[in-house]
Amino acid sequence: MAGEPASPPSRNWRLGLNTYCVRFQRWNDRQLFDYCAQQKVDAIFLQSSLDVGVMDPRHWAHVRTWSKDLGLHLETGGGVLLPGSPEAYPQAVLNLRKNIERAAAMGSPIVRTLIATDRYHFPPGPVEQHKETAIKILQEVRSQVMDAGLKIALENHKDLLAWETREVIETAGKEFVGSYLDTGNPVFVAEDPMTTLEELGPYAVTFHLRDSVVYEAGGGVAVQWVPLGEGTPDFKAIVARAAQIMPANVHIFCKPITARPPVVLPVFTEEFWTRWFPRGRSRDFSQFLALAKRGRPYGRAHLLEDTDQGRDRHMAELKVQQLEHMERSLDYCRKILNLGVRWRG
C-alpha cells in the first residue's frame, strides 16, 4: 500500500513505462514516445505495438532515431513462443527470428517473449513437454541472438511457476536467455511475487512492476490487478531486494493493467494441483497463502470493463481511467519507491 517514502534507493534505477498499459488510447509508436517524454520517464518498453508499421524495417529505423533523439532507453520484443501444434513449429521459430531482427534494428538490448498466454492455453501434452519445446526453439535462435548482441527476455506469464521458468532459462542457456520479471503474473499461478523475485531476480534483464490485491474469497484465493501501491504485496521490500540481486544494468518499468474483475483461484481443490500445478512446492504455496491472509478486496472505485463484452461499450471511460491509473502508478513509483532519474530534474 502507498505510504511514507522509501529510504533513498541503493541503486540508481532508471524508470520507464510499458506501453501495453495505455493500449486503449490506440496510439501509434510516435505518440507513445511523445507520451513517455511528457511523463519524464527514462525508458519505454514498446510492447504489443498497434502501429501500422510494426513489422516494417523502415519504421524500425524511425523508432531507433526517436529513442536517441528523446533520450529514451528502448526495449521491445514479441509474443507467445509455443506453437499451437507440431506443424506450426517452423513458423514459431520464424516469428522469433523476425522479432530478434526487429529488436536489433530498433536498438533494443533484449527481445521479449513468453511461453504461453497462461497454463490453460497450453497446447495438448504435459508441462515438461512444453518446456522442452520452448527450450528447443530458444536454442535454435541462439547464434542469431548472440551475434546481434541481444538477450531473449522470457516473461514469467500465467504459465509456469518461477522455478520452472528458471529451469527453462538455465537449460536453454543463460548466456543468451534472461528473465523479463513481471510482478503481476505470479499471483495467477498462486505465487507470491517475492518468491518469483528470489528465483528469477539474478537472471533479470528487465523488471516490470504490476500490483495486485490478493485475498481469501469463495473457497479459494481472489486476485485482481490494481494501480501500483494499492495492492497487497510490499513493493518497497520487492524493489529493495531486487536492488540486491538483479544485474546492475536492468531498467524498471511501471506496468499497471487494470479494469479487469477479480479471479478466484480454486487453490483448495484437488484439480487445481493435479491438473495445473502438479509440481507446486508447499513452501511457495504457504508464502502465497500468507500474502492472501494479509490482503483485502480492492476498495476504490474502479471501472471493470476490460472484457470482450464491455470494452467497446465503455471505451471512452476506459481511456480516461487507463491514463489516470498509469499516472497514479508513476507517481507512486517516484514519490514512494524513489525510482527514476529524469523527473527529478
Q: Does 57 map to a domain?
A: yes
Give the angle 225-293-305 at the CA atoms, nearest 5°. Answer: 20
CA 172 to chain centre: 20
- In angstroms, the CA 25 to CA 32 distance is 9
- Report pLDDT for 188: 97
295 found inside a domain? no
Q: How far apart are CA 301 and CA 303, in angstroms?
A: 7
CB 225 within 8 A of CB 184: yes
* Helical spans, DSSP H, in 47-110: 57-70, 89-106
- Each residue of 65-95: pLDDT tens digit? 999 999 999 999 999 999 999 999 999 999 9
Write out pLDDT tens, residues 277-291.
888 999 999 999 999
Give the cell for residue 126.
Answer: 504435459
What is residue 277's predicted lDDT score, i.e. its pLDDT? Answer: 87
Q: Tell me what pLDDT residue 135 has.
A: 98
Q: Is residue 151 part of a domain?
A: yes
Cell representation of residue 10: 541503493
Determine, yes or no, domain membership for 285: no
pTM over 0.85: yes
Percent of the chain with pLDDT over 90: 92
Domain extent, residue 140, equals 15-211+232-259+321-344
The verdict on residue 51 lying in a domain is: yes
Does residue 283 lie in a domain region? no
Contacts of 319 (CB under 8 A, 6+ apart): 24, 25
Extract the residue ranges of the chain whose pLDDT is less than 50: 1
CATH label of the domain that carries residue 180: 3.20.20.150
Residue 38, pLDDT score: 98
Catalogue the E-assigned strands of the chain.
15-18, 43-46, 73-80, 110-114, 151-155, 177-182, 204-209, 211-217, 220-226, 252-254, 263-265
119: cell is 497454463
Nearest to 180 by CA among 147, 159, 157: 157
The verdict on residue 335 lying in a domain is yes
In total, how many domains does the chain have? 1
Q: Is residue 149 part of a domain?
A: yes
pLDDT at 11 (0 to 100): 83
